Amino acid sequence: MPKVSMVVNGEAATGEVEGRTLLVDFLRGSLRLTGTHVGCDTSQCGACVVHVNGEAVKACSIFAAECEGAEVKTIEGMANADGSLSTIQQAFQDHHGLQCGFCTPGMVMSAAALLKDNPKPTEAEVRHYLEGNLCRCTGYHNIVKAVLAASGQEVGGAAVAAE
Ligand code: FES
Ligand code: FES
């Protein structure tokens, strides 16, 4: 089988893949980075979002072979160097932006990509950006709060409208 090489969370990663192997299957199956979840396998739920060369990508929508030479970041690479939670992760914890946690890795990766491009998004911009990330538990309210908090914006009281 052909080999693919990429940099995942700052470390070189090489593996054999079939042409049809999805990036999410390479990450989970070959590299055992199971924090990236599979909710649908059809590009609808966003549970599999990772960063490829700095862009948020649904890892079920791209072949591993397409990522030859790419820089990939998964939820396992999001913590700070000392192991503490990153700002966006801490905000999800502080604002209860999760319940079962299944969608959370994808939410965090999408939110981090949003804040990179738009450091102070409005509530509407957060909701629009996260349209491709589905959550069956939280009702989204606290997820939006968490993203706004991670951007340093006030989220107390009625600052964020309920769903
Ligand atoms: S598993 Fe990729 S979008 Fe649902
Ligand atoms: S926290 Fe359960 S699916 Fe989002």
Domain ranges in the chain are 3-77, 87-159
- Kindly report the number of other CB atoms within 10 A of residue 159's CB atom: 12
pTM above 0.85, yes or no: yes
Q: Whose CA is nearest to atom 3 of ligand 1?
A: 43
CA–CA separation, 72 vs 60, rounded Å? 14
> What is the tens place of the pLDDT at every residue in 22-33?
999 999 999 999
Candidate from 22, 28, 38 with most ligand 1 atoms within 8 A of CB, to mutate = 38
How crowded is the C-beta side of 71, counted as CA atoms within 13 Å?
A: 5
> What is the tens place of the pLDDT at every residue in 81-122?
999 999 999 999 999 999 999 999 999 999 999 999 999 999
> Is 93:79 a contact under the CB 8 Å cutoff?
no
- Please state whether beta strands 71-73 and 3-8 pair in parallel, antiparallel, or not at all (unpaired): parallel
pLDDT band at 155 (very low <50, low <70, confident <90, very high): confident
Which residues contact ligand 1 via a Cβ below 6 A? 38-41, 43-48, 58, 60
pLDDT number for residue 108: 98
Instruction: Decide yes or no: CATH 1.10.150.120 for domain 87-159.
Output: yes
Q: What's the CATH class of domain 3-77?
A: alpha beta
Task: Tell me the pLDDT of the chain averaged across its residues.
Answer: 95
Q: How far is the CA of 137 from the centre of ligand 2 (A)?
A: 5
Residues in the chain: 163
> Is 107:143 a contact under the CB 8 Å cutoff?
yes
Which residues contact ligand 2 via a Cβ below 6 A? 98-104, 135-138
Give the H/E segment covering residue 3.
strand 3-8
Q: How far is the CA of 15 from the centre of ligand 2 (A)?
A: 31
